[in-house]
Structure 1
Amino acid sequence: MYYQLISRLASLQYHLDGSIINFQIKDDSDVSLISFDETHSYYGYLRDGLIKRGIRSLINTLAWPNGISLEKAIVPNTWTAIEYTVKHSTSDVLAVLRKHAPNHNPFMVMEYYPDWIDYEGQRHQTVDSNIFAEGVDKILKYNGSINFYMVFGGTNFQFTNGSDRTLAYHPIITFYDYNAIITECGDAYPTKFKAVRDIIAKYLPLPTNPNTGEPLLLSWIQDRGVVLLDEMVQGVLEWTEKDPLTLINSNFLKTNPNSILDILMENKGRCCSVLPNLGCNFKGMKSKPRLGLRELGN
């Protein structure tokens, strides 16, 4: 399985016009029961396995910001990234990295946790949005790079949830949320996403007008239409006396290239009008809907 996976990824490397620039190999090098020699041997095995299978990209190991974990993770022909939480001091993290790793080793926080896993029977783990954003600010202030783990929440389905066992057994629930800045369904976490985005905007140019969606336009609808985007109800559009010709959905629709828009029509009574040219006897939609300026079809 390992060979099959790596062989598929090898062709996607950056020097082959792909998008992969780095591979990470990981061991729980902070676990005291795993010796220095065992960790180095395992890291070397993983590194050599990647190289034998055609990997020419950068390869990094991962360590917690303490001397033991770093010494175990510093392996020839790799570089070492750091993982930590908002409870750590970034200045202390950088100091211990510079003490143990070579000077050319980049300051990369490969796993920066917005919070932690949830254990069965305990409260949902959360971190204040501003505190988390301040942690991001400190990393960028030291010219560091950052990767959020997790950037969006998720679920461990079926029997794939795990557990921790240190002094006691702690099962982990299937909810894999981490109090991330994006929820599992793809929505921005109301305060945390904005707080982090505002910090990043201090260091990098960001779009001034992020995509807020497009209006759904129907030139004429004689009945009532329930609008669904990817099977989720977005709203209801219907003919009214005030606006019989143009209907615009006030809640702009946020789509992606693979989104599916459905309009479920409900039959309403035919119109008996003294004005002959209103076309009130026509049912459903008289023309194709538009999303912004784009005409939509089946």
Structure 2
Amino acid sequence: MKKIWVLLFLLTMMQNFQSQKKERFALGDRDFLLDGKPFQMISGEMHCARIPRENWRDRMKMAKAMGLNTIGTYVFWNAHEETPGTYDFKGNNDIAAFVKTAQEEGLYVVLRPSPYVCAEWEFGGYPWWLLKNPELKVRSTDPEFLTAYTRYIKQLAKELVPLQITHGGNILMIQLENEYGSYSDDKNYLEINKKIFRDAGFDSILFTCDGADMMGKGFLPGLLPAVNGLEDPEKVKEIVNRYHNGKGPYYVAEWYPGWFDNWGKKHAKVSAENSAKTLDKLLAAGISVNMYMFHGGTTRGFMNGANMNVNDPYAPQVSSYDYDAPLDEAGNPTGKFYAFREVIKKYLPKDQKLPEIPKAVNTVSIDNIEFTSFASLYDILPKPMELENPLSFEELGQAYGFVLYRTMISESGTVSINGFRDFASVFLNGNKVKDLDRRLNENELSLVNVKENSTMDILVENNGRINYGPFLTDNRKGITEDVRLNKNKILSWKMYSLPFKEVKQIKFLNKPLVLKNIPGFYRAEFVLKTVGDTYLDMRKFGKGFVFLNGKNLGKYWKIGPQQTIYVPAAWLKKGKNELVVFDALKSGHTTISTVSKPILDQNQ
């Protein structure tokens, strides 16, 4: 009897071992190896925070239908730790569920969890509160930064370590930092990054990625160096060989079949025909590719970032992350999707066929939604902080949104706002005087006929923190220095924090909608019998943001090129819906409509 029990125990152990057999992923001299066989990654980038959770699976089915076998994805630190030590991995921030959904759909994942992501995302993914200490330096060996960084990675590891291929999951590789060579070249900092990830339990393959000209600065010896933006197969192989002991595999971690948009600039378009030819060329050479983006989605809320370089002015990015990608902002296939699908078919295993392309989501258009109530900005001001000098957002403990700075003046002259970021509207006794735009290097205005004890208000908006380049650490918002009248510093300020994280606390008045040029909120209710994707038409509006059923859909600005805001069908309700629009520049709105197609290419 004892022998039978021993035999049963051994049999059970063998069965458990077989069921827990780990699928192995490795680096060959020329190829990635999956279970010992060459594996060419045909990957596309998607970000869980930019896609409604209800649509994750739909987008992944589209990825499979185009021929992708892998998803590349960033992880945004500031989405998961908006408050130090408090973590959010729920809803649209459930990165583990995103990865698991990919596995259920037969897709591998290349994870890009470095705290710095760029990604046209606010502060490149860093949380705003790192800027509360003006001496702290991100992307460095600053002890305070490394302490916060390490704490976050350890928390992230609890979500994602079990999902690595080394643990039976579908995460193939982990990116260490992100295009670090374009920022600095401190190998000690990169080694610390590596140790942080390894100590947290990330035991799968680590890699770095950089532009071709920056590879020498950004790679870490011993790790796989991937290249971004390079399209010539021979050059890809040459540069990887140079930094990887004369070996591959060869991986273009960011290949760009599209591009992002900035406010006030033309909509980016990239040829589908030329992109398909490039993809064919790369795949034919055996190079693995991650297209950035396969599906961009939307940068909702106040999470759009900005560019700024030594010779380039501040340039905030739009909320739409359509990216001229194979899937558009709403997840519909574009001409690139079909062109890429035909290319990828040529490189599939002989026994593999692509699934049918899923049907597009129904779209609707809604005419003349009536605003029935209004709240002036001045009616909802909170209790102010009163100090001699103005404070930045960070000094006020505020992440995003607006701050109203108020003071009293008694003479006419030139007002200079030093270190203001990023967009300001100046009012004198409640009347608009001028708008100032950091993009245009504006920071002065003239005031005339100023009476004694006049009230001057400066409404300042955070238009997006810089996410790329040398000014990454110089990223405070609001009035960061001082305000002067005729070169004399103005003292004594009231500061009203207006983060607008939610709008349910706003008290709307059922009164005639204000026609005066005052910033304010417009509220409407509308009833739907059927729901579908749609786009709010913002062409008659000025500058602001929109909440639908409690969710911040993103920003709009009359200068374009984005003139619509995408509304996912999943966030509409059969029955009553609530819409709240804040407009900082125009007033007197009575209705708003939606259209069935986006408008992303119109500048005013």
TM-score (norm 2): 0.33
Pair 1:72-2:372 in alignment: no
- Give, in whole Å, the separation in 2 of the partners of 1:89 and 1:77: 24
The partner residue of 1:145 within 270, 274, 288 is 288
Give 1:119 deviation, angstroms: 1.4
The partner residue of 1:199 within 313, 336, 343 is 343
Indicate the residue corresponding to 2:192 in structure 1: 45
**Residue 119 of structure 1 aligns to which amino acid in structure 2?**
N
Count of residues paired in the alignment: 216
- Percent of pairs identical after alignment? 26
Q: Per-residue displacement from partner, 1:200-237 (whole Å, max 9, x unpaired)?
A: 11111553661455xxxxxxxxxxxx995xx328xxxx
Structure 1 91/180 Cα, relative in aligned 2: closer, same or farther at 3 Å?
same
Give 1:2 deviation, angstroms: 2.4
**Residue 9 of structure 1 aligns to which amino acid in structure 2?**
L
**Residue 104 of structure 1 aligns to which amino acid in structure 2?**
K
- Give, in whole Å, the separation in 2 of the partners of 1:199 and 1:8: 36
Pair 1:168-2:312 in alignment: yes
Structure 1 134/51 Cα, relative in aligned 2: closer, same or farther at 3 Å?
same
| 1:26-41 superposed matches below 5 A | 26-31=177-182, 34=184, 36=185, 38=186, 40-41=187-188
Give 1:263 deviation, angstroms: 10
- Give, in whole Å, the separation in 2 of the partners of 1:186 and 1:135: 23
Q: Per-residue displacement from partner, 1:130-155 (whole Å, max 9, x unpaired)?
A: 10111111111110011111110222
The partner residue of 2:167 within 7, 16, 26 is 16
- Give, in whole Å, the separation in 2 of the partners of 1:123 and 1:139: 29
Structure 2 unpaired stretches of 5+: 1-151, 360-527, 534-569, 576-604
Structure 1 120/51 Cα, relative in aligned 2: closer, same or farther at 3 Å?
same
Indicate the residue corresponding to 1:84 in structure 2: 229
Q: CA RMSD of the aligned region, Å?
A: 2.7
| 1:1-298 superposed matches below 5 A | 1-31=152-182, 34=184, 36=185, 38=186, 40-66=187-213, 69-84=214-229, 88-166=231-309, 167-169=311-313, 170-189=315-334, 191-205=335-349, 207=353, 210-212=356-358, 231-232=531-532
Q: Secondary structure at the match of 1:115?
A: coil
Q: Per-residue displacement from partner, 1:55-102 (whole Å, max 9, x unpaired)?
A: 110000111112xx21123313421111106xx433333323323332
Q: Secondary structure at the match of 1:187?
A: coil
Higher relative contact order (Cα pairs below 8 Å, separated by 6+ residues): 2
Give 1:6 deviation, angstroms: 1.7
- Give, in whole Å, the separation in 2 of the partners of 1:16 and 1:8: 13
Is 1:152–1:180's contact at 8 Å kept on the other side of the alignment? yes
- Give, in whole Å, the separation in 1 of the partners of 2:222 and 2:243: 16
- Give, in whole Å, the separation in 1 of the partners of 2:197 and 2:358: 42
Structure 1 208/13 Cα, relative in aligned 2: closer, same or farther at 3 Å?
closer
- Give, in whole Å, the separation in 1 of the partners of 2:202 and 2:181: 27
**Residue 204 of structure 1 aligns to which amino acid in structure 2?**
L
**Residue 191 of structure 2 aligns to which amino acid in structure 1?**
G
**Residue 100 of structure 1 aligns to which amino acid in structure 2?**
Y
Indicate the residue corresponding to 1:282 in structure 2: none
Indicate the residue corresponding to 1:238 in structure 2: none
Is 2:240–2:247's contact at 8 Å kept on the other side of the alignment? no
Give 1:187 deviation, angstroms: 0.8
Q: Per-residue displacement from partner, 1:146-192 (whole Å, max 9, x unpaired)?
A: 11111102221222111111212222112222211011221111x11
Structure 1 209/156 Cα, relative in aligned 2: closer, same or farther at 3 Å?
closer
- Give, in whole Å, the separation in 2 of the partners of 1:26 and 1:176: 22
Displacement over 4 Å in runs of 4+: none
- Give, in whole Å, the separation in 2 of the partners of 1:26 and 1:4: 17
Q: Per-residue displacement from partner, 1:42-66 (whole Å, max 9, x unpaired)?
A: 2211111111011110000111112
- Give, in whole Å, the separation in 2 of the partners of 1:62 and 1:194: 28
- Give, in whole Å, the separation in 2 of the partners of 1:28 and 1:140: 23
- Give, in whole Å, the separation in 2 of the partners of 1:28 and 1:62: 6
Q: Secondary structure at the match of 2:163?
A: coil
**Residue 2 of structure 1 aligns to which amino acid in structure 2?**
I
Structure with greater strand share of residues? 2
More displaced 10-residue stretch of structure 1: 113-122 or 125-134: 113-122
Q: Per-residue displacement from partner, 1:233-265 (whole Å, max 9, x unpaired)?
A: 8xxxxxxxxxxxxxxxxxxxxxxxxx9xx999x
**Residue 98 of structure 1 aligns to which amino acid in structure 2?**
N
**Residue 42 of structure 1 aligns to which amino acid in structure 2?**
Y
TM-score (norm 1): 0.65
- Give, in whole Å, the separation in 2 of the partners of 1:20 and 1:76: 22
Give 1:110 deviation, angstroms: 1.2
Is 2:345–2:354's contact at 8 Å kept on the other side of the alignment? no
- Give, in whole Å, the separation in 2 of the partners of 1:96 and 1:104: 10
- Give, in whole Å, the separation in 2 of the partners of 1:72 and 1:208: 40
Q: Secondary structure at the match of 1:176?
A: coil
